[in-house]
Amino acid sequence: MLIDVMIHPGSSQKKIVLKDQTYHVYIHSQPEKGKANRESMESLADYFKIPKKAVTIQKGQTSRKKIVEVELS
């Protein structure tokens, strides 16, 4: 399943909000050296209760807007 994701780095709290068919992922990490990508993929895996390897970025590796593939079992 492909989902639209908007990353909000540097947030004071970690949370995921679904708004207008886009998952808004609020994370603590800053967007440097892939830290924000790793933390956001971990957060999505926890949200969907799936392994971390089942969440991959398909488009937008360096952007705040991403298309992410989530492999649900």
Assess whether pLDDT exceeds 90 at residue 22.
yes
Is the pLDDT score of 13 beyond 80? Answer: yes
Q: Residue 72 pLDDT > 90, yes or no?
A: no
At a CB cut-off of 8 Å and minimum separation 6, what does 11 contact? 26, 27, 28
Compute the chain's Rg from CA coordinates: 11
- The reported pLDDT for the residue numbered 73 is 73
- CATH (residue range 2-66): 3.30.1200.10
pLDDT (0 to 100) of residue 42: 96
Ordered by start, the domain boundaries in the chain are 2-66
Instruction: Give per-residue pLDDT as tens, 23-70.
Output: 999 999 998 999 999 999 999 999 999 999 999 999 999 999 999 999
